[in-house]
Amino acid sequence: MTVPPAARPPTVYLHVGAPKSGTTFLQGLLWGNAEALAEHGVLLPGGSFGAHVRATRDLRGVEREPDDPMQDWTGAWDALAAEITASEARAAVVSSEVLCAVTAERAARAVASLAPCEVHVVYSARDLAGLLPSEWQEYVKHRYLYGFDQWLAEVADGPRDEAAAAWFWQVHDIPAVLARWTPHVPPERVHVLTLPGPAAPRELLWERFAGLIGVDPAVADLTEARTNASLSHAETELLRRVNHAVDPDAPMWLYHRLVTDVLAVRLLPGRGAPGRVRLPAARRAWAAERAAELVAGVRAAGHDVVGDLAELLPSPAPADVGSAPADAELLDTAAHTVLGLLDEVAALRAELAELRAARAEQERTALPKLMARHLSERNPAVWRVRVGYWHMVERLRGIEPPPPPDPDAEPEPGPLLSVRGAER
């Protein structure tokens, strides 16, 4: 089904986060089904998730490191907004989990840049008992050096504007985050999307989000969904120790490309013994109290709730509260990770050998011949001529036998006809 052009500017849904609340799952579904969503009137501007990352960095005023090879993001937000406002789509979705960290001033800029579109803010939230361990793991993936107990002490006991607590509460204090948007977006257009519990069907979060943006959930193929790689306690602890060994002068963009993207996301998951990071029993009462405060704040603000606020309250403590991994377990995890790295090295060496062979062949091939080859590979007609030429050369050399005669073809004059007659 193709949706006809909209008679008014698209409704814009800013999915602003929060981190570790199912955002990776939703983004995977959105981008994996971008064409199907477009057929149902939903635009994902920019053409890629990376475009949303660059636009968000521009909006937040993130300074680019001088040697960062990532494409410059100056002006990226305004370009994204211009594409949306010029679109004939029914709705547009921008999804980046760090949009919830913008200041009130930058939230005002975001909404103003999207005028005259109707803007909705979508904030996905998760219960604190599950959120806290996941956030510590994410901090470690971003070069954090300390263990879970130290991180919890900073978040729970320290000032909210210092150390680990500063970022955590900037993006997870739900009423405070949404208060930065409500001067520019009415409370009824600010939506709190609750993350279903672990026993809920996998697709429930998508069904809630799809209903919010006005599409049938069946539009999306859930096999396209991706999830953020979850690490066991041992894998997270090993990564934390790697962070201590990384040169402190290494730029963050390089750390993310090598340590985060390669080691933490691609290689580490599944290398260590299973065992989730659990919130210590001594912290569960504090988490329950804070969660109740957050839920009360959402209710008081009058935001639209998609799901159930009870899902934000910690469930009873599991029987297995977990424990820090022993050194023997870390050593075993490290050994399996080294094997994974060796597999990666072997694959890269094989790829490098192929590239070197291709380069050597190019260096041996005269430039006009190389250009003709590339042209023929792009043009079917030229390719057929080239193949025919090869066959003719092979026949003249006596390597390839001539094709059998076509009984319906006109007789060919000249030597070829006499040779065939002699053979008969």
Comparing 399 with 291, the larger pLDDT belongs to 291
Task: Say if residue 173 is in the same domain as residue 269.
Answer: no
Q: Would you tell me how many other CB atoms lie within 10 Å of the CB of residue 125?
A: 26
Task: Say if residue 122 is in the same domain as residue 249.
Answer: no
How remote is the C-alpha of 95 from its chain's centroid?
A: 10
Question: Taking the model in full, what pTM does it have?
Answer: 0.81
Taking alpha carbons only, the member of 396, 267, 276 closest to residue 339 is 267
Write the pLDDT tens digit of every residue in 20-33: 999 999 999 999 99
Q: Are strands 190-194 and 304-306 parallel, antiparallel or unpaired?
A: parallel
Mean pLDDT for the stretch of residues 185-198: 95
**DSSP character at residue 144:** -
Residue 75 has pLDDT above 70, yes or no: yes
Taking alpha carbons only, the member of 91, 10, 83, 18 closest to residue 48 is 83
Task: Say if residue 91 is in the same domain as residue 215.
Answer: yes
Can you tell me which residue has the tokens 């994974």?
Answer: 340
Distances (CA, A) of 283 to 289, 317, 337: 10, 10, 32
The span from the CA of 389 to the CA of 384, in Å, is 9
Cβ burial, residue 164 (10 Å; 0-12/13-18/19+):
buried
Task: Say if residue 51 is in the same domain as residue 34.
Answer: yes
The span from the CA of 338 to the CA of 330, in Å, is 12
Local confidence band at 419 (pLDDT 50, 70, 90 cut-offs): very low
What confidence score (pLDDT) does residue 230 get?
82
Q: Is 84 within 8 Å of 92 (Cβ atoms)? A: yes
Average pLDDT, the chain: 88
Write the pLDDT tens digit of every residue in 91-133: 999 999 999 999 999 999 999 999 999 999 999 999 999 999 9
410 found inside a domain? no
Taking alpha carbons only, the member of 124, 95, 92, 37 closest to residue 306 is 124
**Position 396, amino acid:** L
Pair of tokens at residue 304: 């639209």
Q: Would you tell me how many other CB atoms lie within 10 Å of the CB of residue 9?
A: 18
Task: Say if residue 299 is in the same domain as residue 357.
Answer: no
User: Domain total for the chain?
Assistant: 3
Mean pLDDT for the stretch of residues 134-162: 96
Edge to edge, the sheet with strand 304-306 lists 42-43, 91-95, 11-17, 119-125, 190-194, 304-306
DSSP assignment of 212-238 equals HHT--GGGS-GGG---PPPPPHHHHHH
Total residues belonging to the chain? 424
What confidence score (pLDDT) does residue 148 get?
96
Q: Which domain holds residue 390?
A: 366-404
Distances (CA, A) of 217 to 77, 206, 380: 28, 7, 42
What confidence score (pLDDT) does residue 315 get?
84
Task: Say if residue 132 is in the same domain as residue 200.
Answer: yes
Nearest-Å Rg of the Cα atoms of the chain is: 29
Comparing 199 with 402, the larger pLDDT belongs to 199
Task: Say if residue 111 is in the same domain as residue 123.
Answer: yes
Residue 389 has pLDDT above 50, yes or no: yes
Percent helix / strand / coil, the chain, rounded to 5: 55, 5, 35
193 found inside a domain? yes
Write the pLDDT tens digit of every residue in 223-272: 867 666 689 999 999 999 999 999 999 999 999 999 999 999 999 999 98
Write the pLDDT tens digit of every residue in 285-309: 999 999 999 999 999 999 999 999 9
Mean pLDDT for the stretch of residues 176-184: 97
Task: Say if residue 93 is in the same domain as residue 239.
Answer: no
Can you tell me which residue has the tokens 């990384």?
Answer: 246
Residue 406 has pLDDT above 60, yes or no: no
Mean pLDDT for the stretch of residues 156-164: 96
114 found inside a domain? yes
Phi first, then psi, for residue 95 (nearest 5°) are -130, 115
Phi first, then psi, for residue 305 (nearest 5°) are -105, 125
**Position 286, amino acid:** W
SS3 328: helix
Task: Say if residue 153 is in the same domain as residue 257.
Answer: no
Mean pLDDT for the stretch of residues 317-322: 58
CATH number at residue 103: 3.40.50.300
4 found inside a domain? no
Cβ burial, residue 383 (10 Å; 0-12/13-18/19+):
middle
424 found inside a domain? no
Task: Say if residue 117 is in the same domain as residue 167.
Answer: yes
420 found inside a domain? no
414 found inside a domain? no
Distances (CA, A) of 299 to 17, 296, 335: 19, 5, 50
What confidence score (pLDDT) does residue 145 get?
97
The span from the CA of 239 to the CA of 237, in Å, is 5
Write the pLDDT tens digit of every residue in 79-101: 999 999 999 999 999 999 999 99
Mean pLDDT for the stretch of residues 210-217: 97
Q: Is 224 within 8 Å of 203 (Cβ atoms)? A: no
Local confidence band at 274 (pLDDT 50, 70, 90 cut-offs): confident
Task: Say if residue 52 is in the same domain as residue 28.
Answer: yes
Task: Say if residue 224 is in the same domain as residue 308.
Answer: yes
189 found inside a domain? yes
Crossing angle (nearest 10°) for helices 128-141 and 148-156: 120
Range in 174-188, 347-361, 388-402 with the lowest mean pLDDT: 388-402
What confidence score (pLDDT) does residue 224 get?
62
What confidence score (pLDDT) does residue 402 get?
47
Residue 418 has pLDDT above 90, yes or no: no
